[in-house]
C-alpha cells in the first residue's frame, strides 16, 4: 500500500550514480542487512533541493558494496544520472518493528552526544557512510566524526535523547 502524502518517511539509502546505459543505478543502502532495502516495491526519492519522486522498483540485487537497481520509468543513462545524490526513503509504516536496542538513523538526528568524560560534543547532524564504516557527524563547538562501531558508540539513551560515546573532545 503506498504511503500517504503526510506519512513520515525514513532515509534508508542514497542513489550513488548510474550503472550502464539502460537506466540502472547504484544505491548505497543504510539498511541492515543491506539488501533488505530491496524488499520494498515503492521508494520515495528525495533530491538535494527537496523535490520528491515516487518510483516503483522493478528489480535489484547486491552489487559489490552497493545495490544495483532498476526503476519503472527510468529507461536510460541520462535519466539514471539525474537521480545521483537523491535519498532513498521508505514510509515508516512499511518498516519492520525494531528489536530492543535497535534504532533507525533518522530517529537519532538531534540527539545530544556526550563522551565518557561527560563532555557534550554536540548533536547528531547526520550520518556518513565511508569505506571504513559509518560515522555520526556531531556538530557543536566543533564538528566530530564519531565512528558508529561498538567500541565508540556505547549507549543510546532514547528516552532522554542522548548518546554516550568513547570519543575524546580533541579529535
The domain 9-93 belongs to what CATH superfamily? RimM (2.40.30.60)
Q: pLDDT per residue over 9-22, tens digit each?
A: 999 999 999 999 99
pLDDT score recorded for residue 113: 97
Confidence bin at 3 (pLDDT 50/70/90): very low
Domain boundaries for CATH 2.40.30.60 within the chain: 9-93
End-to-end CA distance of the chain: 46
Helix (H), strand (E) counts: the chain: 2, 12
pLDDT of residue 165: 96
This prediction has a pTM of: 0.77
pLDDT (mean) for 65-94: 95
| pLDDT at 116 exceeding the cut of 70 | yes
What is the DSSP secondary structure assignment for residue 81, as one 8-state letter?
H
Instruction: Give 33's DSSP letter.
Output: S
Give the chain's mean pLDDT. Answer: 91
Q: For the segment 22-67, what is each residue's pLDDT rounded down to a tens digit?
A: 999 999 998 888 899 999 999 999 999 999 999 999 999 999 989 9
Q: Which among 139, 162, 161, 166 has a CA at the least distance from the CA of 150?
A: 166
Cell numbers that stand for 168 in this block = 575524546
Residue 5, Ramachandran bin (φ over 0: left; ψ between -120 and 50: alpha; else beta): alpha
Residue 1 has pLDDT above 60, yes or no: no
Domain with CATH 2.30.30.240 in the chain: 105-165
- 4 pLDDT exceeds 50? no
pLDDT at 139: 95
Q: Mean pLDDT throughout 130-149?
A: 91
Q: Which CATH superfamily is domain 105-165 in?
A: PRC-barrel domain (2.30.30.240)
Q: Three cell numbers at 153?
A: 558508540
Amino acid at each position: 500500500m503506498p504511503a500517504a502524502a503526510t506519512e513520515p518517511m525514513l532515509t534508508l539509502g542514497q542513489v550513488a550514480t548510474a550503472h550502464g546505459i539502460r537506466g540502472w543505478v547504484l544505491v548505497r543502502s543504510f539498511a541492515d542487512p543491506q539488501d533488505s532495502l530491496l524488499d520494498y516495491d515503492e521508494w520515495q526519492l528525495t533530491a538535494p533541493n527537496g523535490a520528491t519522486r515516487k518510483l516503483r522498483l522493478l528489480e535489484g540485487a547486491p552489487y559489490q558494496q552497493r545495490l544495483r537497481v532498476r526503476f519503472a520509468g527510468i529507461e536510460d543513462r541520462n535519466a539514471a544520472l539525474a537521480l545521483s545524490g537523491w535519498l532513498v526513503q521508505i514510509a515508516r509504516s512499511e518498516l519492520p518493528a525494531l528489536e530492543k536496542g535497535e534504532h533507525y538513523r533518522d530517529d537519532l538526528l538531534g540527539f545530544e552526544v556526550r563522551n565518557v568524560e561527560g563532555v557534550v560534543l554536540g548533536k547528531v547532524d547526520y550520518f556518513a557512510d565511508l569505506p571504513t564504516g559509518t560515522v555520526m557527524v556531531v556538530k557543536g563547538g566543533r564538528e566530530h566524526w564519531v565512528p558508529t562501531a561498538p567500541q565508540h558508540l556505547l549507549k543510546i539513551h532514547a528516552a532522554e535523547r542522548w548518546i554516550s560515546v568513547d570519543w575524546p573532545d580533541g579529535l
